[in-house]
Amino acid sequence: MSKAAELAALIGSQSSLSNRNLVINGDMAVAQRGTSATSQSGTDIRLLDMWQLVEGADAVFTIAQSSTAPDGFNNSLKIDTTTADSSLSTTQFASVKTRFEGLNLQQLQFGTSSAKPLTLSFWVRSNVTGTYSVMIALSDATNIYQSHTYAISSADTWEKKTITFIGDTTTAIPDDNTSGFLLDFCLGSGTAYTSGGATGSAWSSSATSYFGGHAVNIMASTSNEFLLTGVQLEIGEVATPFEHISYGDNLFRCQRYYWQFGTGDPQYTPIGTGVSEGSFSNIDIFYPTKMRATPTIAYSGIQVFDGSTAEDVTGTRGSSAGLQSIHFQPNHGSLVVGRGVHAYLTGTSGYFSFDSEL
């Protein structure tokens, strides 16, 4: 596309010139948890920020932030099958999804006669050619879907895909912090979710159209892989060029949903300060931004120091968490009551995470 054509498309999209992309971390640049995870299975696999891998079959994956990417991108989300499941039951499937907070979607005007269409563009690559499904779902109680198919035509070659979804004039997206909407790329599915065919430009509540028309199975062989990047979902019927933002801006957006100490932070990185009560302490930690919901915390390799003695954190006595800070009570060996303490990472593998992803 020429620069003039790009500009014309951007103006013609009737969308804003910035903040067009509803997808956070669509370029797969932010990976706070790490860059690779092996032996992954189950329905809540998280590695790259804002992206969830769902393995609802008997396969096992390695998931990674890959440097294999199309021109203009440095990263992709890569999913490798390491244990195959070549015979899916009717209800087994695997997919890659990202969710959207309802309060970020009100400009779509769903549930009104002015509901806006959406255009999805993305880069995809796999050794498995054939017909794939991608769908969007209103993930509140109504749970209705719009699924489309796309083809990967050439093995091991980056291909850019563009799909337009119609708006929904009947179902409003709640204006709150819950998941009002999701985008789901199918990797393989039993017939319970494919046999109805793609909905195309229509909304459906039929489960048989959830991944309608999907016809390949990434899980069928340990030789198979699926790579995805440059995911952009924007208002209008025109796919504009991918909206690149700075890494810092991208990271800050992600931190509303997840952030952590660790992964690149050095030994003795401070986490928070407080007061000892002997076998436990009171530590206050402040978040870099207001989180979507009260976060789950997880940690490993943490110590508390009272000025003369350092003790390993062995568990959580209690915690009072909010959207901007947490009062954390770690259990540990005996420290002097009443002394000021600080908590820190004991080594480069230590971490302390805060998770409020959708």
Residue whose structure tokens are 């599915």: 189
Q: How far is the CB of 57 from another protein (least distance, A)?
A: 9
Residue whose structure tokens are 């329905």: 43
Residue whose structure tokens are 């230590």: 350
Q: How far is the CB of 89 from another protein (least distance, A)?
A: 11
Q: What share of the chain is helix, strand, coil (3-state, %, to 5)?
A: 10, 45, 50
Is the CB of 215 or the CB of 323 nearer to another protein?
323
Residues at the interface with another protein (CB under 8 A): 41-44, 55-56, 91-93, 177-178, 292-298, 315-321, 329, 355-358
Pick the closest to residue 101 from 317, 306, 324, 293 (CA basis). 293
Which sign does the torsion angle of CA 239, 240, 245, 247 carry? positive
Residue 167, amino acid: G
CA distance 306 to 65: 39
Q: How far is the CB of 61 from another protein (least distance, A)?
A: 13
CA distance 300 to 257: 20
DSSP state of 68: -
Tell me if residue 214 falls in helix, strand or coil: coil
Is the CB of 76 or the CB of 356 nearer to another protein?
356
Is the CB of 41 or the CB of 348 nearer to another protein?
41
Is the CB of 19 or the CB of 91 nearer to another protein?
91
Q: How far is the CB of 317 from another protein (least distance, A)?
A: 5
Is the CB of 59 or the CB of 108 nearer to another protein?
59
Q: How far is the CB of 298 from another protein (least distance, A)?
A: 4
Is the CB of 265 or the CB of 355 nearer to another protein?
355
Where in 5-73 does DSSP place strands (E)? Answer: 36-40, 42-46, 52-56, 60-66
Are 300 and 350 a contacting pair, CB within 8 Å?
A: yes
Q: How far is the CB of 86 from another protein (least distance, A)?
A: 18
Is the CB of 226 or the CB of 328 nearer to another protein?
328
What is the rounded (10 degree) CA torsion for 29, 35, 38, 42? -40
Is the CB of 7 or the CB of 337 nearer to another protein?
337
Pick the closest to residue 242 from 100, 123, 101, 106 (CA basis). 123
